[in-house]
Amino acid sequence: MIALNGVAASSGAALGQFFLLTTEIPATSPAPSSLTPDEEKRSLTAAIEYVGADLSERAERSTGELRDILLAVSEIATDPALIEEAHTFIDQGHTASFSISQATNIFKELLESSGGYLAERVSDVANICDRILCRIAGVEYPEIPHFQQPTILIARDLSPADTTDLQSEQILAIVTEGGGPTSHTAIIARSRSIPAVVACPGIVEYAKSHYGQLLAVEATTGEVIFDPPTEIQSRIIAKIERIRKRKEQLVTRTPFGYQTVDGRTIPIYANIGRVADTKVAIEAGADGVGLLRTELLYLDRATAPSLDEQIEIYTQLFQPFASQKVVIRTLDAGADKPMAFINFDDEPNPALGVRGYRTIHEHEDLMRVQLQAIATAIKNTGTDVWVMAPMITLPEEAQNFVDLARSFGIKTVGVMIEVPAAIFHADEITKICDFVSIGTNDLGQYLHAADRESAPLAGFNDPWQPALLRAVHLVAQAGLRNNCPVGVCGEAASDAALAAVLVGLGVSSLSCSVSTLRDVAAGVTALSFSDLQLAAVAALGAPTSQTAKNLAREHLLALEELGL
């Protein structure tokens, strides 16, 4: 038996044969080309056109987040700047293959130095180059095969294009050497309920030397075991069976929200970013929306959306929740989500730069138009809409935002707590605001000074990190003292066990990704509030994220029964 440990990227378990996706891409050489530059350019153009068209076709046959990602990737593939860069190498006498690899390397370095969301695009650009190289060489790109029987897929990493035609029903689990909890692999796996472990060092080499052996994957803990002994096999089989049974059952919900077994009501909301998400959120049993990321509506825009345009889309987004609650967030532009119509100077460190609420100093007009549009959409629909600002650091910023939003007639105004300084101002901020919502994704990265997109730093961004739990506790307790509801809308609320701990820490509502909502609801409704409090106390005292998880789970045994 060989046991490896990676980062849990979804939940569930698997036992079965594995397939190692090896990506043998034709090598390139700096040797001079035997063709003329024009011939090389024609060959490159043909390959780029083919790959660009293939990627947009893949986008067309995809849905949701994957579709958006693929559309962006197909634009990168045909970016004139990339082609121009490759042409300069061709003009120096190099082959089309060598030239596109060199141009790609320059692009990758640029993206890497930008950090955040752009740095995450590096693997997309590399994948585009691999596809172009295969096309030039006239060989098939090594796609994920259509498996005849359910199989565990192992890969160095998976690009969005790789996953387009993934037959979810034949994939028992995914294990990758690269990636992190927010990588494409993790997003795709969660949205399709495939157990997944990412950032698992050594998995590719072990897979090569252990071909044909049985593999066990525990996606809740991140354990991957080659040739598991019979007791581990039985444990995994029993867990898979428990998950199957749970998925067949409906989770009961009261009109006020989900309830623990001893009757404590915990509303569970959905995080959404598009009109299409409203339907799936309702189908998943959401109590409303706990985070509407408005910047996602306009990421690809060169100019700011008009007042009327915003009124229309917010009205569409609020309408389906007429009898429920929607928490809408003002634009969180900047860092990993730059927006063309909000101009930033070249910031050396965008995650620590002018982001979210901080853009108000240069763009108060945009904030005013957005608040006006939200206020009008509230009148149009009658939905109970709460409005909040991201990236608030100081109480005076919270006060300014509350005053500004109220001046537009918005009744319920709050802020996100995701900057460490705001934790120490939690008492003042929870006195100023009608509610606060903790963004554990950013709070985790800023507390640990670790980029949330970085695979090598994924451990710091584990939402079970005790420093993050202690921060949530401080804010939740301030909220209780000042009668201010405290929700959590970061990814931490999408892990059923951690969601339970957050409630035990004093958080009054949860907002999670739609794909995990049923699991989170199943967990909360299977436990008593005192279990949640005991789990929270145990996790708070833990020295590491792993011990926090283990100690908390000792009080959450009902989750085990549900395979969560």
65 belongs to the binding site for ligand PEP (CB under 6 A): no
Structure tokens at 396: 């005076």
CA distance linking residue 476 with residue 482, whole number of Å: 10
Strands 258-259 and 265-266: antiparallel
Cβ atoms of 325 and 288 within 8 Å: the answer is yes
Structure tokens at 219: 């996606």
Select from 115, 439, 444, 485 the one that contacts Mg ion (CB under 5 A): 439
491 belongs to the binding site for Mg ion (CB under 5 A): no
442 belongs to the binding site for Mg ion (CB under 5 A): yes
User: Shortest distance, CB of residue 530 to Mg ion, whole angstroms?
Assistant: 32
293 belongs to the binding site for ligand PEP (CB under 6 A): yes
- 94 is known as an active-site residue: no
How many CA atoms within 13 Å lie on the side-chain side of 287? Answer: 21
Catalytic residue, chosen from 129, 134, 433, 489, is: 489
440 belongs to the binding site for ligand PEP (CB under 6 A): yes
Q: Which is nearer to ligand PEP, 434 or 442 (CB)?
A: 442
Structure tokens at 149: 């029987």
239 belongs to the binding site for ligand PEP (CB under 6 A): no
Residue 440: which of Mg ion, ligand PEP, none does it interact with, CB under 5 to 8 A by kind? ligand PEP
Q: Which is nearer to Mg ion, 160 or 439 (CB)?
A: 439
Per-position x/- string for 398-437, each x denoting binding to Mg ion as judged by CB under 5 A, each - no binding: --------------------x-------------------
Q: Which is nearer to Mg ion, 186 or 535 (CB)?
A: 186
Backbone angles phi, psi at 16, to 5 degrees: 170, -170
65 belongs to the binding site for Mg ion (CB under 5 A): no
Alpha helix positions (H), 61-114: 64-77, 80-91, 96-114
Per-position x/- string for 441-470, each x denoting binding to ligand PEP as judged by CB under 6 A, each - no binding: xx----------------------------
User: Shortest distance, CB of residue 339 to Mg ion, whole angstroms?
Assistant: 15
Following DSSP, what letter does each residue of 361-395 receive, concatenated? HHHHHHHHHHHHHHHHHHHHH--EEEEEESS--SH
Q: Which is nearer to ligand PEP, 305 or 444 (CB)?
A: 444
Q: Which is nearer to ligand PEP, 134 or 514 (CB)?
A: 514
CA distance linking residue 98 with residue 516, whole number of Å: 44
Cβ atoms of 182 and 454 within 8 Å: the answer is no
CA distance linking residue 311 with residue 299, whole number of Å: 18
CA distance linking residue 73 with residue 8, whole number of Å: 26
Q: Contacts with ligand PEP in 312-341 (CB under 6 A)?
A: 332
3-state secondary structure string, 227-292? CCCHHHHHHHHHHHHHHHHHHHCCCCCECCEEECCCCCEECEEEEECCCHHHHHHHHCCCCEEEEE
User: Shortest distance, CB of residue 244 to Mg ion, whole angstroms?
Assistant: 35
- 184 is known as an active-site residue: yes
Select from 59, 103, 489, 503 the one that contacts ligand PEP (CB under 6 A): 489
Catalytic residue, chosen from 94, 184, 425, 555, is: 184
* Diameter over CA atoms, the chain: 78
Q: Which is nearer to ligand PEP, 43 or 430 (CB)?
A: 430
Binding residue count for Mg ion, defined by CB under 5 A: 3
Residues labelled as active-site residues: 184, 489
Residue ranges binding Mg ion (CB under 5 A):
418, 439, 442
